[in-house]
Structure 1
Amino acid sequence: MRAIILAAGLGLRLQQPPQAQFPKCLLQFDGMSLLERHLQMLENAGVTDVVLALGFQPESVQAELERINWPHKVETALNTRYDLGSVLTVHTVAEALTRGGDVLLMDADVLYDERILNALVAGETVNRLLIDRDFEAGDEPVKLCLKDDVPVELRKQLAVNLEYDTIGESVGFFRFRQETAQRFAEIVAGYVESGRANMPHEEAVRDLLLERSQVFHTADVTGAPWIEIDFPNDVVRASTEILPQLQPLVSASR
């Protein structure tokens, strides 16, 4: 199993002055960066094949990798047009997507409990989505809608006539079987070739779900603490609400 961590973005919505901006995977909570937490939890889950998609300030992330001194090789890929959408970042790591075996596609800017990752990696080869039914309504969360356990929508904005029996927020992690990852890479390539490289990669995942060529299972992680960090108040919530609920992690460099 391979983990691809998307860490290319600018993080503009954190509203930092230009001279103070840095990749969100370097945000620290309790003295540990989000990147180090990702790597430690992946190792605890038995996943040591990791590809890191970089863009903004790659040298800062490389320096953090050296500081962490993770005992496994971390492959990196660079999206020089990180100012565009995450579809292009995913396209940058297309070879890692299609190399074989199950693939975990993970956003780097998430602080999360080990139960989240354990639900993602459990069992034999499978396509898996994660859903949290306890979410705040609004335009920001990416909603995952199911009907009879089948995904029928993955978007921030839902059509008024959409029929579903389950709705929740999609955690920013996906698991693809080998053939599914191949098809996903093809869809992403189509976005880039048709001038839609500025789109979020969730749109390509949505296309994959709605074409129904692959069967997806959904793991319900409602109750497990996690937060995607986009805005300044997310950093505060991560520190005051989410972090105290997490089990302490041993640094990978110790």
Structure 2
Amino acid sequence: MRAIILAAGLGLRLQQQPGKQFPKCLLRFDGITLLERHLRMLDAAGVKEVVLALGFAPEQVQAELARLDRPTPVEIVLNPRYDLGSVLTVHTVADALTRGGDVLLMDADVLYDERILNALVAGETTNRLLIDRDFEAGDEPVKLCLRDGVPVELRKQLMADLQYDTIGESVGFFRFREDTARRLAEIVKDYVDSGRANMPHEEAVRDLLLESLQQCSHQFDTADVTGAPWIEIDFPGDVERAATEVLPQLLPTVGVAQ
């Protein structure tokens, strides 16, 4: 199993002061960067192969990796056009998507409990989405909708006539089987080739999901992580919530002194 961590963006919505901007994966909580937490939990879950997609200020992230001195080196892939959408970043790691085995695709800007990762990696080879039914309604969350336990939609904006019986927020982590990861790489390439490189990568995952419904292939299962603490950090208020609400609920991070 291989983990691809998307950490290329600038994080403009955090409105960091000019000259003091840094990749969001270097945000620290209790003195521990998000990147270190990712790597420690992946190690604990037995995921040793990690590909890190970088763009903005890669030297800062590389310095953090040097400080961590991880026994198994992290493979770094650079997206020089990180100012475009995350679809392009996923396209830059196409080789990591297609070289075989199950693939985890993970946003770097998430503070989360290890129970969420455990739910993602559990069991034999599979395609898996994570759903949190306890979420705040609005335009920002990427919604995951199920009908009879089957995922039928993955998007921020839902069609008015969509039929579903369960709705929640999609955690920014996905698991793909080898064949599904290859198909995702093809879909992402089509996005880039057709001038849609500025799109979020969740749109490509949505296309994959809808294709699976139409063709009865690449079937997805879902893991319900409702109740496990996590937060995606996009805005200044998210940093405060992460520190005051989410962090105190987390299980101790394996391998890190608390």
Q: Give the shorter-chain TM-score range.
A: over 0.9
Report what 1:226 is aligned to: 230
Report what 1:243 is aligned to: 247
Shift of 1:249: 2.0
Q: Does 1:104 align with 2:108?
A: no
Shift of 1:18: 2.1
> Take 2:234 and 2:184, find their aligned partners in 1: how far apart are those partners?
25
Q: Does 1:169 align with 2:173?
A: no
> Take 1:236 and 1:73, find their aligned partners in 2: how far apart are those partners?
32
Report what 2:187 is aligned to: 187
Shift of 1:247: 1.7
Q: What letter corresponds to residue 204 of structure 2 in structure 1?
A: A
The number of residues matched between the two structures is 253
SS in 2 for 1:191: helix
Q: Which segments of structure 1 move beyond 4 Å, counting only runs of 4 or more?
A: 250-253
> Take 2:253 and 2:135, find their aligned partners in 1: how far apart are those partners?
26
Deviations 1:139-189 (A, max 9, x none): 000000011122111111111111101100000000000000000000000
SS in 1 for 2:125: coil
SS in 1 for 2:84: coil
> Take 1:70 and 1:242, find their aligned partners in 2: how far apart are those partners?
26
Q: Does 1:73 align with 2:73?
A: yes
Alpha carbons 1:36, 1:251 under 8 Å: kept: no
SS in 2 for 1:151: strand
SS in 2 for 1:196: coil
Q: What letter corresponds to residue 53 of structure 1 in structure 2?
A: A
- Residue segments in structure 1 that go unaligned for 5+ positions in a row: none
Report what 1:21 is aligned to: 21
Alpha carbons 1:79, 1:92 under 8 Å: kept: yes
Alpha carbons 1:49, 1:74 under 8 Å: kept: yes
Report what 2:210 is aligned to: 210
Q: What letter corresponds to residue 145 of structure 1 in structure 2?
A: C
- Residue segments in structure 2 that go unaligned for 5+ positions in a row: none
Alpha carbons 1:144, 1:167 under 8 Å: kept: yes
Shift of 1:197: 0.2
Report the TM-score, using the length of structure 1 for normalisation: 0.98
> Take 1:176 and 1:249, find their aligned partners in 2: how far apart are those partners?
25
Q: What letter corresponds to residue 51 of structure 2 in structure 1?
A: V
Deviations 1:189-243 (A, max 9, x none): 0000000000000000000000113100000000000000000000000000000
> Take 1:250 and 1:192, find their aligned partners in 2: how far apart are those partners?
38
> Take 1:121 and 1:250, find their aligned partners in 2: how far apart are those partners?
16
SS in 2 for 1:130: strand
Report what 1:160 is aligned to: 160
Q: What letter corresponds to residue 124 of structure 1 in structure 2?
A: E
Alpha carbons 1:68, 1:252 under 8 Å: kept: no
SS in 1 for 2:180: helix
SS in 1 for 2:90: helix
Percentage identity across paired residues of the two chains: 80
> Take 1:44 and 1:11, find their aligned partners in 2: how far apart are those partners?
28
Shift of 1:252: 6.1
> Take 1:151 and 1:196, find their aligned partners in 2: how far apart are those partners?
25
Report the TM-score, using the length of structure 2 for normalisation: 0.97
Listed as ranges, the matches of 1:54-65 within 5 Å are 54-65=54-65
Shift of 1:73: 1.1
Q: What letter corresponds to residue 223 of structure 2 in structure 1?
A: A
Shift of 1:248: 2.0
